[in-house]
Structure 1
Amino acid sequence: MPLTILSGAQLRSLLLSLTHDQIVSIQQSLANALRDYSVGNQESGCAATLQPRRTAVTRKCGRTTLFMPSSTRRAIGIKVISLEDKGGTPGCEVESGEDLRGVKRVTAGEPGSRDSVTSVSSEMSELSLSSQEDSTERSSSVSSESDPLPSASVDSKPIEAGVSKTMGAWPGAGTRDTSPKGSITLLDDNSLPFGLINAEELTPFRTALTATMIFNKRKRVRTVVVFGAGKQAYWHIRLALTLRAEDIKRVIIVNRSFERAAQLLQDIYATENSSWRGEVKFSAVSSEFGEYGRILHDAINKADAIFCCTPSHVPLFPAELLTSREGRRKGRLISAIGSYKPHMTELHPDILREEVAVHPPHRHFHKHVRRSGVVVVDSLDAAMKEAGEIIQADIKPNQVVEIGELLMVRDATQGSNAADDEKHLREWVERGNVIFKGVGLGLMDLVTGSDLVELARARKIGTTVEDF
C-alpha cells in the first residue's frame, strides 16, 4: 500500500491550485458524509454511532492535545492536534451512539429511522419554523444535573459577559498564529496507512467548506464581514469568493491588530489571487480605530453574512447590533467556528437566546425577519458539550439542528413539489436569520483529507512511499 505524505507547504500548494469545480466536488463529499452522520446511515460508515469518542490531554504549560478518531466505510482516520490556551480546560465529546435528544441513532430504513420525507419535514418544521407559537420542552431534553459534563470539559472560571476590546483574535498584536499544529493519519479498511497530512492548513480548509454549505444557498450575499485575520479567516474569504464571486461586492475584515489584517489583505491582493478575488472591494477594521464602535455598527448592519473565526473568550460585538429593532430588519447568515471550549464565545448569549425564542401569536415585528427557533450545528452531541455559545446561552437540544439534517431535507425534496413546511424551511435557509455554530469533527478531516490525497497523487504532489 503506497503512503502519500503531504507537508504543510505541499498541502497549501495543492489547495491553492484547486479549481471551482474541484472545490465543489470535495464540498459535496463532505456534505454527503455530514448528512449520513446525522441520519444514521451505517452503510456509509459515517453514522454518529460509528464515530469513536475523541479525547484531550492538557499539560501544565497550557497546551491541549486533541485526539480525534473517525471512520467511514472505506477509511479510518486519526487526527492529533495541539493548541495553546491557558484560559480553560479541554472540551470532550460525549460517547457516540446515544443521541442527546434521548433517541438511539439508527440506520436509515430501520424502525425509528428518519428516512422518509414526511417524517423529516415534520420534525424539521417543528424545530425551525415554530417562532409564532409556544412549545414545551421535550422530555428528552438533557439537564446539567442528569447529564453532567465530563470534568475535563468544565471551566471553573466565571464567564465574562462583556464585549471584547481586543476582538479576541490574537493573544498579542500580531504575535503568533493560533492555528492548531498536528497531523491526520489516514488508513484504508484493512488499517493500512495511505495518507499522512499536515493538519495546520487542512483544519481551516475543511471548516470553511462546512461553513459555506449554507452560504451557497443564500439569496443575498453582497456584503461579508469576517472577524479574524488568520488561516480560518483566509479560507472562509477565499472559498466564499470562489463559490459566489459574482454576488459578493464587499468584504470587511475585523481584527484586533490592523497590521495583521493588512498582511491578510496583502496576501489576498497578490497577483496570483486575481482569478478568485475578482472586483470585490476589501477593507480592514481594527479596534485601534478611534471611531471603531460606529464603524463596527455600520459593518454589522450592512452584513449579509458574518464569519467569526477567532478563539475569543468574550463576545466579538454587542448583542444589540443583531437583536435590536434595526438589527432584526434583515436576515443574515452568522457562522461562529473559532471558539472551541465551554468558556469561549464569539457571539453574545443574547443573540442565540433571541434566535431560539418562541414568540406568542400576538407579537409581531413589522418588516422583521422571523426567527427560526433553532441554532444549526455540525454535531449536536459535541456542540452541547463544547460550544461556549450554546452552553452560555442555555440552548436546549430541541433548539439545535445539525447541518446534516438540513442537507437531508434538501436532497429529499429536490425535483419534487415540496410541501409547505419544506418550502418554509428552504426560504429560511435562503433568506432568514441562520446561526451556525461549528466545533469540528474528525469525520470532516477524514473525508476531506481522503479526497485531497487522491488529487495529490494524480498531480504527483507530495512524497509517496510505494511500499509502506
Structure 2
Amino acid sequence: MPLTVLNGPDVRSLLLSLTRQEVREIQDKVASVLREYSRGAQDELGQVQQHMVIRQQDGLDSILMPLHSGGDAGFEVMNVLEGSGQQRRQSQPASIPSPRRTSNPGDNQGSIASVPPEIESSPSVPSQRTIEEHPSTANFDKTANTESARDFRSGYLTISDSFGMPAALINTQDVIPFRSALCSSLVFARREKVEAITIFGAGRVAFWHIRLALLLRGSQIKKVDIFNRSFDRASKLLRDIYSPEQMQWRSGVKFAAVSPSFIDYDRDLKHSVTNADVIFCCTSSKEPLFPADYLIMPPTSQKGQLISAVGSCRPDTAELDPLLLKHATEGHRHYRGGTVVVDTLDSCLQQAGELVQAGLDPLRLVEVGELLMVNDFAQRGKSPDEKLLDWIQDGDVIYKSVGLGMLDLVLGKEIWHRAMQKGIGITVPQL
C-alpha cells in the first residue's frame, strides 16, 4: 500500500479549508467514539495504552504512544520540552509596539479593547514554523510560573494498514490542538448564548478554539477577548486572525488582546471573565488564571457560563482555581448549579491538576460521552432529564480535558482520507 506523507503546512491548509458541514461530520465521528467509550466499549475502541518516554538532549522528551480504535491502529510521537520556556521567550525580540491605552479609564468596555491599530494592517503570521512556543499566561496575581510545564514542540502520527505497515505519516503540530478544540466544541455547540468569549492563551490551541467557534457559531458571537502573558504572542495571533484569508469567518466580531503589562489588567480581567458566556483556557499554566471569586459571587454566580479548560494535563498544573470546581460540585444538587464534565474520567482523576488539587468526588463528574447520549435520547423523541438538557444549554458547565489518544487516530484518519481526495501531500508508492 502507498504511504501518504502530510507535513505541517499540508495539515494546516487542509484543516483551514474545512467547511462548517465538514467540521460537523468530523464532530459526529469523534462524538460517536466518545459515546461508545462512555458506554464501556473500551475493548472494542481501544484501551488507553501505556506510553514510553525517551529522554533526548537539552531537556527534550519524546513520548511514544501505541494507538488503536476499532479496526485502526498506529502510534503517535510527541516531542515536549521541560522547563526554560520563559528564558526562551525573553530572548526573542519584540515585534509589536507597546500597547496603547485608547479608552477612558471609567469605560469598562473600552478598557478591554486596547489593541494597537498596527495589528490590523500588519501582514499575516507565517503559516508554519518548525517549532512554536506553547502559549503561557499570567495568573490573577501575575506570578504564574509556567516554565516547568511541558511544552509541546512537534510530533507525528503513523497510521498502519491491515498488514501493520505505515500507510500515513502525519505531522501533528495542528492535529492535537485541532482535536482539543473539536472536543470543546461538542459542548460549545449546544450552548444557547455564546456572544462573549474570553480565551486564555495565544498558541495553536487558542487559535483553533477561536476558529471552530466562529465557524460553527460565528453569526452569534460579538466579541472575543484574548488574554496572554506575552502581548507579542497575543498580537501574532491577532495578526493571523486579521489576515485577508480569514476575513470571512471573523466578520463582525470584535477582538481584543490583553496582557499583564496593561495598567488596568486586573480590572480588564475581571470584567471579561464575569461577562463572558464562554471561557476557553488553553495554557500550560501551573497557577489559576483568575480567582474563583470572580464567578462564584453574585451577580456572576447567577449567570450560566461554559468554561473549557484544555491546556493543562499534569497534576502539578492547574488553569482553574480548585475552589471553583469545589463550588460546582459541592452543595449544588441541581443541574443548574454546575457539574464538572470530563473527556475521560480515569485519566482526568489522575492527570488533571484542577481535579487532583480539588479532591473531587468521582461521582460528581460526568464524561462528555454520557452527555452526548442524553442528547441522542432527546433527538429520538425519548424522555431525557429536562433539567439536564437545560443545564447543558444554559447552566454553569465546566469541561476539563486531558486528551484521549485514540481521538488523534480517528482525526488523523479523517485528515488522511480528505487529503487523498484533494490531492494534498506526498505519496510514496512503496515503502
| TM-score normalised by L of structure 2 | 0.83
Residue of structure 1 aligned with 2:64, choices 61, 67, 79? 67
Give 1:165-184 correspondences, 5 Å limit.
165=142, 171=147, 178-184=151-157
Task: Decide whether the 8 Å contact of 1:166 with 1:287 is kept in 2.
Answer: no
Letter in 1 for 2:78: I
How far did 1:166 drift? 5.7
Query: Could you tell me how far 1:411 is from its partner in structure 2?
Result: 1.6
- The 2-side partners of 1:2 and 1:355 are apart by 51
What residue in structure 2 maps to residue 340 of structure 1?
313
Q: Tell me, what secondary structure is at the counterpart of 1:401?
A: strand
Residues in 2 aligned to 1:306 and 1:325: alpha-carbon distance in whole angstroms: 18
1:255 equivalent among 220, 225, 228: 228
Q: What per-residue deviation string (whole Å, max 9, x for no partner) do you get for residues 208-229 of structure 1? A: 0001110000000000000011
In structure 1, which of residues 410, 414, 419 is the aligned counterpart of residue 379 of structure 2?
414
Per the alignment, in what secondary structure is the counterpart of residue 336 of structure 2? coil
Structure 1 residue matching 2:325: 3-state secondary structure:
helix
1:194 paired with 2:157, answer no
SS of the equivalent of 2:173 reads: helix
- Is the 1:180–1:199 Cα contact (8 Å) retained in structure 2? no
Alignment of 1:445-464 (within 5 A): 445-464=408-427
Identify the structure with the greater helix proportion.
Answer: 2
| Aligned partner of 1:388 among 348, 353, 367 | 353
Aligned to 2:79, what secondary structure does the other structure show?
strand
Q: Which moved more, 1:305-314 or 1:185-194?
A: 185-194
Where do 1:78-117 residues align within 5 Å?
78-86=75-83
Q: Secondary structure at the match of 1:345?
A: coil
Q: CA RMSD of the aligned region, Å? A: 2.4
- Is residue 371 of structure 1 aligned with residue 337 of structure 2? yes
Select the structure with the greater relative contact order (CA < 8 A; seq sep ≥ 6): 1
CA contact (8 A) 2:38 2:370 kept: yes
Q: Name the TM-score, length of structure 1 as normaliser.
A: 0.76
Partner SS, residue 225 of structure 2? strand
Q: Structure 1 pair 164/453, CA: closer, same or farther in 2 (3 Å)? A: farther
Distance between the aligned counterparts of 1:400 and 1:55, measured in 2? 29
Counterpart of 2:336 in structure 1: which amino acid? R
Return the match for 2:294 from 317, 321, 328.
321
Note the C-alpha offset of 1:178. 4.2
Cα offset, 1:23, TM superposition: 1.1
CA distance in 2, matches of 1:311, 1:349: 16
Question: 2:144 and 2:9 mapped to 1: Cα distance?
Answer: 29
Matching residue within 386, 390, 410 for 1:423: 386
Distance 1:299 1:257 in 2: 18
Shift of 1:360: 7.9
Looking at structure 2, the residues matched to 198 and 359 of structure 1 have their Cα atoms a distance apart, in angstroms, of 44
> Which runs of structure 1 show a deviation greater than 6 angstroms over 4 or more consecutive aligned residues?
none
User: Is the CA contact 2:315–2:350 (under 8 Å) kept in the aligned structure 1?
Assistant: yes
Change (3 A) 1:276 1:343: same
Give the match for residue 401 of structure 2.
438
Note the alpha carbon deviations across 1:311-366, whole angstroms, 9 max, x for none.
Answer: 001011111011112220201110011111100010011000000112489xxxxx
Aligned amino acid, residue 64 of structure 2: F
Question: CA offsets, 1:419-459, max 9 Å, x none?
Answer: 4xx21111111000110111011111000000000000011
Q: Give 2:120's aligned residue.
A: none
Contact 1:66 1:81 in 2 (8 A): yes
Q: What's 1:34 paired with?
A: 34
Conservation of the 8 A alpha-carbon contact between 1:167 and 1:256: no
- Contact (CA 8 Å) 1:20, 1:242: kept in 2 or not? yes
Shift of 1:62: 3.8
Residue from 255, 267, 274 that aligns with 1:282: 255
8 Å contact from structure 2 (residues 11, 174) kept in 1: yes
- Which residues of structure 1 form unaligned runs of 5+? 88-161, 362-368
SS of the residue corresponding to residue 424 of structure 1 reads: helix
Write the letter of the residue equivalent to 2:239.
Q
Distance 2:9 2:56 in 1: 28
Distance 1:239 1:450 in 2: 19
Report the alpha carbon displacement of residue 278 of structure 1 after superposing the two structures with TM: 1.6
